[in-house]
Structure 1
Amino acid sequence: MTLLSISSTLEGYYIKIKQNRWHWIFSILCRFLLAYAFIVAGMVKILGERFASGLSELHPMGAYLEALHHTGFYYTFIGVAQVIAGVFLLIPGTVLLGALLYLPIIVNIWILSFAVRFEGSIVSSPLMVLANLYILAWHFDKLKYIFPFSRFSKKVTLPKPNKYEYKFPFLFFIGVISIMGFTVWFANYGYQVMPRNSLEDCKSQFINTDYEQVGIEICECIHVSGKPLNECLENLEKSKL
């Protein structure tokens, strides 16, 4: 199968999706949820408040957010960018621009959340990335012209169908629910150690386990001593030797 035939097949599938009302409703839902999340988070930064203010400064994410809060106008700039991206998602004519602006910001938050194992966004951030990618895919008729693929149509935007199809895409939504379920599962069981948001919550994951004493030491290393996460986790690795 050639690249041309693959591209033609994908374009045919894309056109079919664009004519399905359920996919359209899902795209609208993604837009509004993503916009709400960024506008709220951005306004916190614009107003000069520390994001997740209840999180201890000794927590890996807390230390990062505290340092970020003290970066002055850079902190405000991030907030403004988030609000602009959110507002653009709400306006039909600027949805694609908003999604393109949204993507690097949310990918950064996703990677950061996994790097420091932050419960506050370890589930929501990857789902937000996927929702953002869905919006970009929904506007592939415009987006495809920046990719080095063959062009199949001179029209930049597909016209709105006169009548939407009402066939419910069961496989698609089963996939959506499965991805959400896997994300939640991985957030809860993907790591042997989670710093959690408080010392007591951190200790609770080690109660009645073979690593109870070592786990408590790790939690105190994070929440009391304020040492880097990787350094604190070295004690657990040594106990396994």
Structure 2
Amino acid sequence: MHYPYMKEMREKFWVQLFIIYTRFLLGGGFVFASIIKIKGKRFTTESQEDAEFGTVGHFFETMYQTGEYWQFLGWAQLISGFLLMTQKFSKLGAVINLAIILNVFVITISMDFNNTHIITFFMLLANLGLILWHWGELRILFNLPYVPPTPNLEESKPVWIYTGFTLFLFTAGYRIYTDFYDPIFWFLSCFAIVIVSFLWRILLSNNK
């Protein structure tokens, strides 16, 4: 069953834009965190220093010492983040990302990560929202009738696909370039990219 109110919501431009930007935010965050693992380096400088005290640092240090598993986590985050940011393959990205963020959320509530569990909870909630957005198509995985996607969604516009690739290349390139990152610089740069894309989209719409 495809409820009418869901169909109406999916057709609203601002709702579609919110979904697109949610993918950028989640995907970008995962790509940002993945590169350091793929490079085979520690997630934080505190992990090795705090390991002897049995704190969260010990947990990160143990995962880091696994080597291949640490890099595997990085590749999983990179792939799921990239798929989300492409828009075109966002459904697959949301499914893969759900498994990862659920695991991260459970870890943060199982250990003393200060208030990190609040952040991961909202990330999990956002990912569940993306799953709900695509539920008509994903429900076939549970042997339920397939509901075709709403045609001509905003996410299919080339501007958002190009934006996703730009954000991915910038984020991955920045993290490959340096291990000593400035999160404010990264966030503001990404924010500028999506604002330019939004203005570009509005300009294209007005020229029609």
Classify the TM-score, shorter chain.
0.5 to 0.7
Matched, 1:33 2:25: yes
Q: How far does residue 120 in structure 1 lie from its aligned partner after superposition?
A: 5.9
Alignment map for 1:1-241 (pairs within 5 Å)? 7-8=1-2, 11-55=3-47, 56-57=50-51, 58-119=53-114, 121-149=116-144, 151=145, 153=147, 156-160=148-152
**Count of equivalent residues:** 151
Do the aligned partners of 2:98 and 2:124 also contact (CA within 8 Å) in 1? Answer: yes
User: Residue type of the partner of 1:91?
Assistant: T
- For 1:26, give the aligned amino acid: F
Q: Shift of residue 152 of structure 1?
A: 7.0
Instruction: Write the letter of the residue equivalent to 1:99.
Output: A
Look up the match of 1:171.
Answer: none
**Equivalent pairs: percent with the same residue?**
30
8 Å Cα contact 1:61/1:118 also seen in 2: yes
Distance in 2 (alpha carbons) for counterparts of 1:74 and 1:63: 16
Alignment CA distance shift 1:59-1:52 (3 Å): farther
State the SS of the aligned residue for 1:66. helix
Q: Distance in 2 between matches of 1:26 and 1:18?
A: 11
Which residue type is aligned with residue 33 of structure 1? L
* SS of residue in 2 equivalent to 1:51: coil
Q: TM-score, normalised by structure 1?
A: 0.58
8 Å CA contact 1:142–1:157 kept in 2: the answer is: yes
Larger Rg: 1
TM, length-normalised to structure 2: 0.67
Give me the whole-angstrom Cα distance separating, in 1, the residues matched to 2:98 and 2:146. Answer: 26
Counterpart position of 2:180: none
For residues 59-103 of structure 1, the C-alpha deviation after alignment (integer angstroms, 9 at most, x for no partner) is 532111100000011110110010000110111221011111111
In 2, distance between residues paired with 1:142 and 1:152? 6
* 2:20/2:87 contact within 8 Å kept: no
Q: Name the amino acid aligned to 2:141.
A: I
**Structure 2 unaligned regions, length at least 5:** 155-208
3-state SS, counterpart of residue 127 of structure 2: helix
Letter of the 1:96 counterpart? K
The secondary structure found in structure 2 opposite 1:93 is coil
State how far apart, in whole Å, the 1-side matches of 2:146 and 2:82 are: 32
The verdict on how the C-alpha distance between 1:89 and 1:18 changes in structure 2, with shifts beyond 3 A counting, is same
The answer to which structure has the higher helix fraction is: 2
Q: Tell me if the contact between 1:141 and 1:158 (Cα under 8 Å) persists in the aligned partners.
A: no
RMSD: 1.9
